[in-house]
A and B are shown apart, each in its own frame.
Chain A
Amino acid sequence: MTTVTDVLEVPARRVGVLRRPKATTGFWSWFTTVDHKKIAIMYATTALAFFVIGGVEALLLRVQLYGANGTLLTASQYNELFTMHGTTMVFLMGMPLAVAFGNYLIPLMIGARDVAFPRLNAFGYWGFLMGGIFLYSSFLLGGSAPNGGWFGYTPLTSTGLDRGFLPGHGPDFWVVGLVMLGIASTTGAINFIVTIINMRAPGMTLMRMPVFVWMMFVVAFLTLFAMPIVTAALIMVYFDRNFATNFFVAANGGEPLLYQHLFWLFGHPEVYILILPGMGIVSEILPVFSRKPLFGYAVVVFSGIAIGFMGWGVWVHHMFATGLGPVAISAFALSTMIIAVPTGVKIFNWLATTWRGALRLTTPMLFALGFIAMFTLGGLSGVLHSIVPADTQQTDTYFVVAHFHYVLFGGLVFGLFGGFYYWFPKLYARKLDERLGKLNFWTIMIGFNLTFFPMHFVGLLGMPRRTYRYDSGLGWEGMNQIETIGSFVIAFSVLIFFVNVFYSKTRGEAVGPDPWDGRTLEWTIPSPPPEYNFEEIPEVESIDDFWHRKYTEDEQGRLVRLPSGGAVAVEERTGDGHGDGHGEGHGEGHGIHMPSPSYFPLVVAIGLPIMGYAAVFQMWWLAAVGALPVLYGSYAWAIEPQTEPET
């Protein structure tokens, strides 16, 4: 798309019925925006909404399991809820929230004014939103929500409706919805990769990039290569269900295990897609609040890359109980042990970063430290699964549930919360309230451990996952009660977080552009950043460039603030800190020409769920209807220049 600007002599003022939108502020601007910061906010808002929905689903599950023989939910309702809880938390909360952080921060951290493909970026968001709405519309339209688990094993999901094991169109919605989300996240991944490779400021070499950017780079590659695999698997399931193909029909020679292979070939990299952004965020927070550089920057980066590569070599450990034979199992048991090494390396690096640092235990720092502790526990229970006999025992028990919640909740969610507290001042020029924040941290820490720690024990006592009720007298009731209580403590804590956000957005402590004494480029610009981010593209000379502009060391190795070093920050503090993100005609922003808003990402995305419904209900005329906005949007997108020439 980049050459479009140069090429079209006569700008397409009007494409079809839609005139190019102009507004960059106001309600309607959100529908046409291509500003990566606004798109990030939309990602975060939507993903947090899904976080709440997925959380409510989890609470319902927990209430059902509070005592023996729970009666709140029927078996099929329970199936729908745990399937949607998992699907929501992975695809509609975890991934998009990480993308939200990436969207906001990658350009700021590498010194760019925008991402490489602003409209593709917007399309990624709209595709995600449409995919999420499509999935949830199954509750109303499908006769049943997806109900085959977030992994959707065949032949349970792949057997067609007429002969089906599962009632309703749930699996069809799940399959089509995930393909849609896959398209959206693949475009997002391509955008991130190209942005990081091509949009770096002068001097921002790869090995000077903040660790968060590095981790998002690895994540984008994992997404890029994992999504097509699961897309192919989902397509096979769709054809098996709807066109009676035989991919997973054992009676005709099909191999249900093929699905498990394809799913986990995607699924294990997906685990790292979820956790690496959390690792990146923590690697940003710890140095700032320890007032020390990250210990072993290069090692942290390389172990992240190593995880990215090795993450492709361990998927069979999800299938140890399927009888693949001793060779395959031994090989993957070994690789599973080995992948713990780069993860362990990172943990030691983080600990060494805090060692003898001037620690400031602010809320972001608490979440980062909580991340290390909880993630380590999750990693330890994870590496146990490389011991195959033990794994065979633990497969499909609550022990596994405990393990991955320690990694994904204790890891990813703690990291993301830390990130919210850390970067909130950049968005709103106000800090999130520290007292509420600390309450938020401690309640979530307590609630989280109450909920998930006992799951290790009930799991080892033999309680299976995905069971909608259990008999009394098995010794599980007490711990299940603790878990349910814990889950409500988490809910309370999340409520505190939202209260904090709404309170602090308008009444929090007002701060300048660099409230934490930060080290990376995003703290050099005003809060909130203007639409063009950097009035002048920075020249980068080292890792933690901003820090080195502010501080130097004396002979004893003590930090000394450079007299002129803070000049940048101070100057900007006095400047207009409340830029409304409007580039042209706004003070210093003269002459910086930003990409113009566009309707067409949204138009194309609207076609996706229409075609999705067509696929689910096999109404082919509807597919043609859905193809119209896709075609119209794509052509108009290609014809309109990315940036309207100045008039």
Chain B
Amino acid sequence: MTEVEAEVAVTPPHDIQHTAHAPHDPHATATGVTNTKLAIWMFLASDCLFFGAFISAYLLYRGRPGGEGPTAAEIYNIPFTSVTSFILLMSSLTMVLALAAIMRGDYRRLRIWLLATALFGSVFIGGQVFEFTEFYREGLTLSSNLSGSTFFVLTGFHGAHVTIGIIWLLSLWGLATQGKLSVGDSEKVEIAGLYWHFVDVVWIVIFTMVYLIPQ
């Protein structure tokens, strides 16, 4: 008997019509999916167009002459950024492990993985701060040329998204340490996770399109 089968076996059949009597029962929606998850997916779909605009601007202006100083592509530190990108990628793994932990009621691992995810995110942000400082030292600034403008604004807004994600994760971790997250709250971790993974996939696109593709 696998876990899955066991779960299925204990699932009781429900009466759909209870929708009519309990409109605020979170389990009773016309489609069966929860409002919160639907909302976060809507937000993520919308955010695609936000990042798309900045990525397009970067692609449009790539390699254009004008301004002064080096372009971003000339001073990328690919080994360094590869490592921070890798860390962000792995934070997605720790995030799903946190979700799996809370769903099976393993609160100790939940706390560990949540904290690990936030930590990985912070390392990524730290790397970005270091990278930005280095670039500024080498003469690439927001205003030096188009490459700087598009690079810093795009990666900066991505960094802002990651920072919000870190705050979110740390808040969940805080709740978890106080014992205020239980199996019933799994969806909260899932929602934060969806946001976190989205930020990660955006970075997957940025890392390839902005850093790796030859100029």
Contacts and interface: CB of A to CB of B under 8 A. Distances in A.
A228 interface: yes
A228 B149 contact: no
* Top 9 A-B residue pairs of the complex, sorted by shortest distance between their CB atoms: A253-B66, A232-B53, A2-B26, A245-B149, A228-B50, A244-B143, A198-B29, A253-B64, A252-B66
Given A225-B45, A537-B20, A232 B38 contact: no
Interface stretch (A109-117, A124-132, A563-571): A109-117
Interface stretch (A233-241, A336-344, A452-460): A233-241
B186 to A, nearest CB: 9
A537 B30 contact: no
Residue with the greatest number of chain A CB neighbours at <10 A, chosen from B19, B35, B50: B35
A100 interface: no
Most chain B beta carbons < 10 A, residue from A2, A197, A235, A251:
A2
Contacts of B187: 3
Nearest to B154: A232
Nearest to A224: B46
A389 interface: no
Interface string A241-258: 001111100011111001
B109 to A, nearest CB: 20
A190 B67 contact: no
A229 interface: yes
Contact of A194 (B16, B42, B145, B182): B42
Contact of B24 (A193, A224, A233, A595): A595
Interface string B171-212: 100000000101011011000000000000000000000000
Interface stretch (A199-207, A462-470, A547-555): A199-207
Contact of A231 (B34, B45, B50, B185): B50
B98 interface: no
Contact of B49 (A228, A247, A255, A258): A228
B142 to A, nearest CB: 5
B14 to A, nearest CB: 14
A635 B142 CA distance: 33
A643 B24 contact: yes
B42 A246 contact: no
Contacts of A594: 24
Contacts of A233: 53
A536 B19 CA distance: 11
A235 B61 CA distance: 17
A262 B52 CA distance: 11
Interface residues of B, number: 51
Interface residues of A, number: 59
A5 B22 CA distance: 13
Contact of A239 (B16, B20, B65, B153): B153
A190 B43 CA distance: 7
B46 A225 contact: yes
A194 B149 CA distance: 37
Contacts of A231: 50
Contact of B185 (A7, A120, A224, A247): A7
Contacts of B143: 243-246
Contacts, number: 151
A642 B35 CA distance: 13
Interface string B10-47: 00000011011101101001110111101100110111
B107 to A, nearest CB: 14
B79 to A, nearest CB: 28
Nearest to A240: B149
A162 interface: no
Contacts of B171: 635, 638
A114 B35 contact: no
Nearest to B152: A245
B26 A194 contact: no
Contact of B33 (A120, A198, A262): A198
Given A204-B30, A246-B67, A7 B184 contact: yes
Interface of B: 16-17, 19-21, 23-24, 26, 29-31, 33-36, 38-39, 42-43, 45-50, 53-54, 57, 60-61, 64-67, 142-143, 145-146, 148-150, 152-153, 157, 171, 180, 182, 184-185, 187-188
B23 A537 contact: yes
B30 A200 contact: yes
Nearest to A115: B35
A227 interface: yes
A6 interface: yes
A593 interface: yes
A138 interface: no
Given A194-B39, A197-B31, A198-B31, A236 B24 contact: no
A1 interface: yes
A3 B146 CA distance: 46
A3 B34 contact: yes
B46 A228 contact: yes
A537 B19 contact: yes
B36 A1 contact: yes
Nearest to A1: B36
Contact of B47 (A1, A228, A262): A228
Given A3-B34, A202-B20, A539-B20, A253 B45 contact: no
Nearest to B180: A8
A198 B38 contact: yes
B61 A2 contact: no
Contact of A6 (B33, B145, B184): B184
Contact of A536 (B20, B34, B38): B20
Nearest to B32: A198
A400 to B, nearest CB: 26
A114 B24 contact: yes
